[in-house]
Amino acid sequence: MLELLTLLLPVAAASGWYAAARHHRRSLSGELIGSVRRAYQGTVDPNIGAKADEAFHLLRQIADSNTKTLELQLALGSLLRRSGELSKAIELHERLHSQPQLTAEQQHTVRFELGMDYLSAGLLDRAENVFADLAASASHGKASLQQMLAIYQSEKDWVRAAQCAQSLKKHDAGQRHATLAHLLCEQAESAIALGDTATAQTHLQQALAEDPRCVRATLLKSQLALQRQHWAEAGILLRSVEFQNPAFIPEIIGQLRLCHANLRDMDGYLTYLDYVYQRYRTEAAALLLADELAQREGDSAAASYLTGLLSECSSLNLIRRTLHYAGSVSCDDGDCVSVLRRCLAALDSMAMQQAGYGCIQCGYECRELHWHCPTCRAWGMIQPADAGIGFIGRNPAPYPS
């Protein structure tokens, strides 16, 4: 009995408010809904399962078929869904939806909540059907399309996801459509896997039309150019990443070396690395420049260059590489070499524990580049964690005139 009384505390709170509202002939307010929500969340013990049915039926006595209590009924349905009582939430919303006196907008509201019930229960087909019916609704169209988009993305149905994102464009006029651009890139990657480069190119052009700063589309276009050994075209594409988002420069400078090497223009490559470091303090560019100096002029030149950089800024990778080149030049003593190797091994171990990429929206960290954040579900928010740029990015350079 005490367990049931515990469950009925929200009912008592709601009953008091509801009686006052009837007494003063006013509709149930947001204060009432808040009261029920606070009371329900504060008292319901998830371990009390035996009395859940009794409590639910008593809650329904408050949330009767009178449309004046629609807000209360919807609030109770939402609370049931969030507490895991999905069958009861579905029952409540289906009963509400069958009421003939509801207005069209109220019907849409109830139906949307029912779709959310189905989605929470994993009944994706039912949820999709509900949201598809509401896609043209003025009040719930955008939210329904967003839920459909989430469903299609979870199923990796990139074609229907892109169609859904296309429909969402009318709700965000004038905005860059980064999500749609990435969905088109997904279709391009599928086409590349099938060897259909023409279709892939079409999707990538569409992606850049939707979001001119879509780095992913540019990287895929450069990948296709490299496969065809079109070195000049690939080099132009890779360099254009700077003007989209310079945080991704560490992703392109390795492939850019291949382009310059095949074009016999390594001096141009070194000039570009120096430019990138001077403008953005991109650590990866400085390290590659040191490697090129070591090949051309020896380890002492690389060590001298990196030592000069340490006076401007320092990082784990910069210290590691400086010790590597300096040690190979100056350490002749066996004990010195042993100590240096132990220091480098310790630094290598520390570096291995660092995340290479991070989401600038939610802070998720990972060791590989993902275009879709698994935590916040945002597209294109994961960036290289370069020591000179970090996760926050830099302002892109202006497009050359």
User: Highest-confidence range of 30-39, 201-210, 335-344, by mean pLDDT?
Assistant: 201-210
pLDDT of residue 394: 40
Residue 187 predicted with pLDDT over 70: yes
Q: Report whether 362 belongs to an annotated binding site.
A: yes
The Cα 131–Cα 125 span in angstroms is: 10
Q: What is the pLDDT of residue 367?
A: 87
Alpha helices in 24-103 (DSSP H): 30-43, 52-62, 70-82, 86-97
Mean pLDDT of 142-156: 96
Q: What is the pLDDT of residue 358?
A: 93
CB-count exposure of residue 172 (10 Å: 0-12, 13-18, 19+): exposed
- Is residue 259 annotated as involved in ligand binding? no
The CA-based angle 201-207-210, given to 5 degrees, is 145
pLDDT at 304: 87
User: Does 373 show up as a binding residue in the annotation?
Assistant: yes
The string of pLDDT tens digits covering residues 206-252 is 999 999 999 999 999 999 999 999 999 999 999 999 999 999 999 99
Who's near 75: CB < 8 A, 6+ residues apart? 33, 36, 37
Distance CA 234, CA 133 (A): 45
For the chain, what percent of residues have pLDDT higher than 70?
71
The reply, when asked if residue 164 is annotated as ligand binding, is: no
| CB neighbourhood size of 40 (10 A) | 23
For the entire predicted model, the pTM comes to 0.77
Instruction: Select from 104, 132, 128 the least CA-distant residue to 118.
Output: 128
Domains of the chain, residue spans: 2-152
Structure-token pair, residue 87 = 């069958």
- Paired tokens of 252: 């392109």
63: closest CA among 45, 89, 43, 85?
89
Provide the sign of the torsion angle of the four alpha carbons 268, 272, 278, 279, taken in this order.
positive
393 vs 158, higher pLDDT: 158
Confidence of residue 311 (pLDDT cuts 50, 70, 90): confident
Q: Mean pLDDT, the chain, as a whole number?
A: 81
Q: Is the pLDDT of residue 291 over 80?
A: yes
- Of the ranges 77-86, 256-265, 298-307, 324-333, the best mean pLDDT one: 256-265
DSSP calls for 81-130: HHTT-HHHHHHHHHHHHT-TTS-HHHHHHHHHHHHHHHHHTT-HHHHHHH
> Do 235 and 223 form a contact (C-beta atoms < 8 A)?
no
Question: For the CA atoms of the chain, what is the radius of gyration?
Answer: 30
CATH fold of 2-152 reads 1.25.40
Q: Is the dihedral of CA 144, 146, 147, 151 positive or negative?
A: positive
